[in-house]
């Protein structure tokens, strides 16, 4: 018995567990980052510590993404690099968790036999127990049950940023967009009860958070299967009352669930930011239909004008998929036209990537050549940039409310923060300003990506 063990025994303390080191990488979206926090909190409770060198780790974990082929390719290549780590140190446990684990299942171990744990998207909270199983039974473990509800114990201390937090309010997706692997990887929609979310937000605010972003695949359809069927707008109203909370945002919204009621809450609740991510995917009705998006270009435009009428400060961001099977030049021109009509603040522009098992991949031919997809992507990005530049320039001379984040990575004399429309704002360093402070900044310069100004 060493001296620490002796002291613990004398004082009647439980035996200290040996510290195990975990190397962790998170790929993909915000939702994955929150799930990564959940896993890391669970591991920390079991005595694991985070380490930054794979060679030093007892456990190597990847939380993965499947939304496009490129995302999976990155993880396959990382796993390839790990084969020699496993040869040198067979005792290290390697785990693939999240969307790609769910999507590829046991194929992961066929292609990368050095992987010890494959755990899908409803097993994040079991990761410590599954790793224990790997280590005590000395054999690989695969856990892929997607129909279960998983307990979520969030440890507020594992959050990467002190003033901002993401809160997942629902898991899974009930829509059936023909290109999308998410319903398969994340299962069907389950919402967290309002009370649980409210408690989580209270705890986060108590721990210094002032900006909360609510997350869900179709976050505005929140509440569907809960007792009493609370609406998403009601959840926002409840959270708007939380003392000490300053900002509420939410991603991602599905167009058809933008009700009048929700626009009204966006306009009336002072903490709800007037910024909305509302993926449109295409401006061609034919393509929208083939994507099974359940709205037309006209319906989308009508929703946007209703939103702007009720909530005049509203700014929108969107997602596009270019080169969907059968997309013609004329279809693409319609998308450009819609971009101009709506005047989005920003766009995420993706090239179509066929995902095995989705209706688009099995029934349609991926017939737009990669070169043409890239050309359309470049044209769309250029068109968006021109709009963003005009929009950002229009703020010169006005003052915006900014949440200070920290010193700029590129220029140590400048601080950065985000305004109410989530735009990046630069302003000069001053001793009296700390990260987490809210300030008014008068804008003097603008590019299409950021604003610069002076604190007023």
Q: Tell the smallest beta-carbon distance from residue 9 to ligand SAH (Å).
A: 51
Q: How many CB atoms lie within 10 A of CB 91?
A: 8
Smaller CB distance to ligand SAH: residue 61 or 322? Answer: 322
Residue 68: contacted member of ligand F3S, ligand SAH, none (CB under 5 to 8 Å, by partner type): ligand SAH
Longest Cα separation, the chain:
80
Q: Tell the smallest beta-carbon distance from residue 67 to ligand F3S (Å).
A: 8
Interacting positions 25-84 with ligand SAH (CB under 6 A):
67-68
Smaller CB distance to ligand SAH: residue 309 or 370? Answer: 370
Among 321, 339, 342, 380, binds ligand SAH (CB under 6 A): 321
Smaller CB distance to ligand SAH: residue 28 or 140? Answer: 28
Residue 350: contacted member of ligand F3S, ligand SAH, none (CB under 5 to 8 Å, by partner type): ligand SAH
Rule CB under 6 A: say whether 182 interacts with ligand SAH.
Answer: yes
Query: Nearest CA to 210 among 160, 250, 168, 162?
Result: 162
Smaller CB distance to ligand SAH: residue 28 or 230? Answer: 28
Q: Tell the smallest beta-carbon distance from residue 221 to ligand F3S (Å).
A: 9
> 281: which strand partners?
320
Rule CB under 6 A: say whether 451 interacts with ligand F3S.
Answer: no
Residue 103: contacted member of ligand F3S, ligand SAH, none (CB under 5 to 8 Å, by partner type): none
Residue 183: contacted member of ligand F3S, ligand SAH, none (CB under 5 to 8 Å, by partner type): ligand F3S
Residue 311: contacted member of ligand F3S, ligand SAH, none (CB under 5 to 8 Å, by partner type): none
> 349: which strand partners?
320
Q: Tell the smallest beta-carbon distance from residue 267 to ligand F3S (Å).
A: 25
Total H helices, total E strands in the chain: 15, 19
Please tell me what DSSP assigns to residue 348: E
Say how many residues touch ligand F3S, by CB under 6 A. 9
Smaller CB distance to ligand SAH: residue 38 or 317? Answer: 317
> Residue 51 is encoded by which pair of tokens?
């380490």
CA 269 – CA 244 distance, rounded (Å): 15
Smaller CB distance to ligand SAH: residue 30 or 444? Answer: 30
Q: Which stretch binds ligand SAH (CB under 6 A): 37-45, 346-354, 383-391, 397-405?
A: 346-354
CA 130 – CA 98 distance, rounded (Å): 14
Rule CB under 6 A: say whether 402 interacts with ligand F3S.
Answer: no
> Residue 36 is encoded by which pair of tokens?
């990564």
Rule CB under 6 A: say whether 254 interacts with ligand F3S.
Answer: yes
Q: 330 Cβ partners below 8 Å, 6+ apart?
A: 284
User: Binding mask 196-225 vs ligand F3S (x if CB under 6 A, - otherwise)?
Assistant: ---------------------xx-------
Residue 67: contacted member of ligand F3S, ligand SAH, none (CB under 5 to 8 Å, by partner type): ligand SAH
Rule CB under 6 A: say whether 376 interacts with ligand SAH.
Answer: no
Smaller CB distance to ligand SAH: residue 29 or 204? Answer: 29
**Residues 426 and 452 sit within 8 Å (Cβ to Cβ):** yes
Q: Tell the smallest beta-carbon distance from residue 42 to ligand F3S (Å).
A: 25
Rule CB under 6 A: say whether 441 interacts with ligand F3S.
Answer: no
> 185: which strand partners?
none
CA 353 – CA 103 distance, rounded (Å): 15
**Residues 266 and 314 sit within 8 Å (Cβ to Cβ):** yes
Please tell me what DSSP assigns to residue 247: E
Q: Tell the smallest beta-carbon distance from residue 87 to ligand SAH (Å).
A: 35
Smaller CB distance to ligand F3S: residue 86 or 373? Answer: 373
Q: Token pair 């809160």 is at which residue?
A: 167
Among 61, 173, 265, 266, binds ligand F3S (CB under 6 A): 173
CA 334 – CA 140 distance, rounded (Å): 50
Residue 326: contacted member of ligand F3S, ligand SAH, none (CB under 5 to 8 Å, by partner type): none
**Residues 163 and 211 sit within 8 Å (Cβ to Cβ):** yes
Q: Which stretch binds ligand F3S (CB under 6 A): 6-14, 169-177, 347-355, 361-369?
A: 169-177
Q: Give the CB-side neighbour count of residue 84, counting CA atoms within 13 A.
A: 3
Residues in the chain: 456
CA 40 – CA 51 distance, rounded (Å): 12
Return the axis-axis angle of helices 370-393 and 329-342, rounded to nearest 10°: 10
Return the axis-axis angle of helices 260-268 and 232-240, rounded to nearest 10°: 10
15-to-7, 132, 157, 190, 225 alpha-carbon distances in Å? 10, 18, 24, 39, 44
**Residues 265 and 241 sit within 8 Å (Cβ to Cβ):** no
> 24: which strand partners?
61
What residues line the site for ligand SAH (CB under 6 A)? 67-68, 179-180, 182, 217-218, 252, 279, 281, 319, 321, 350, 352-353, 355
What residues line the site for ligand F3S (CB under 6 A)? 173, 175, 177, 180, 182-183, 217-218, 254
């Amino acid at each position: 018995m060493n001296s620490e063990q002796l002291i613990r025994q004398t004082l009647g303390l439980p035996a200290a567990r040996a510290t195990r080191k975990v190397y962790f990488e998170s790929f993909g979206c915000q939702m994955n980052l929150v799930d990564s926090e959940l896993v890391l909190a669970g591991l920390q409770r079991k005595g694991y510590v985070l380490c930054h060198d794979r060679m030093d780790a007892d456990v190597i974990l990847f939380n993965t993404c499947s939304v496009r082929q490129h995302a999976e390719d990155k993880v396959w290549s990382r796993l390839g690099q790990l084969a020699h780590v496993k040869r040198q140190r067979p005792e290290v446990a390697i785990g693939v968790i999240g969307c790609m684990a769910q999507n590829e299942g046991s194929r992961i171990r066929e292609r990368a036999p050095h992987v010890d744990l494959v755990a899908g998207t409803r097993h994040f909270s079991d990761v410590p127990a599954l790793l224990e199983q790997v280590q005590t039974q000395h054999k690989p473990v695969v856990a892929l049950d997607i129909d279960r509800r998983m307990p979520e114990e969030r440890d507020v201390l594992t959050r990467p940023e002190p003033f901002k937090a993401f809160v997942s309010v629902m898991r899974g997706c009930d829509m059936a967009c023909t290109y999308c692997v998410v319903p398969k990887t994340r299962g069907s929609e389950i919402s967290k009860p309002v009370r649980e979310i409210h408690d989580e937000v209270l705890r986060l605010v108590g721990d210094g958070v002032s900006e909360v972003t609510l997350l869900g695949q179709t976050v505005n359809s929140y509440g569907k299967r809960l007792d009493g069927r609370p609406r998403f707008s009601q959840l926002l109203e409840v959270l708007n009352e939380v003392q000490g909370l300053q900002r509420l945002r939410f991603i991602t919204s599905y167009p058809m669930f933008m009700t009048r009621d929700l626009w009204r809450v966006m306009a009336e609740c002072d903490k709800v930011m007037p910024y909305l991510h509302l993926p449109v995917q295409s401006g061609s009705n034919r393509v929208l239909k083939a994507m099974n998006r359940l709205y037309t270009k006209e319906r989308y435009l009508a929703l946007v004008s209703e939103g702007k009428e009720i909530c005049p400060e509203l700014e929108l961001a969107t997602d596009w998929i270019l080169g969907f099977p059968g997309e013609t030049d004329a279809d693409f021109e319609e998308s450009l036209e819609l971009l101009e009509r709506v005047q989005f603040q920003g766009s995420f522009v993706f090239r179509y990537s066929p995902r095995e098992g989705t209706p688009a991949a099995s029934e349609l031919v991926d017939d737009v050549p990669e070169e043409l997809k890239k050309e359309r992507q470049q044209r769309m990005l250029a068109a968006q940039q021109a709009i963003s530049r005009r929009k950002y320039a229009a703020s010169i001379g006005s003052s915006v409310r900014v949440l200070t984040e920290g010193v700029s990575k590129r220029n140590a004399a400048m601080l950065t923060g985000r305004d109410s429309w989530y735009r990046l704002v630069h302003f000069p360093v001053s001793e009296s300003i700390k990260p987490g402070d809210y300030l008014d900044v008068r804008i003097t310069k603008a590019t299409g990506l950021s604003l610069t100004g002076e604190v007023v």
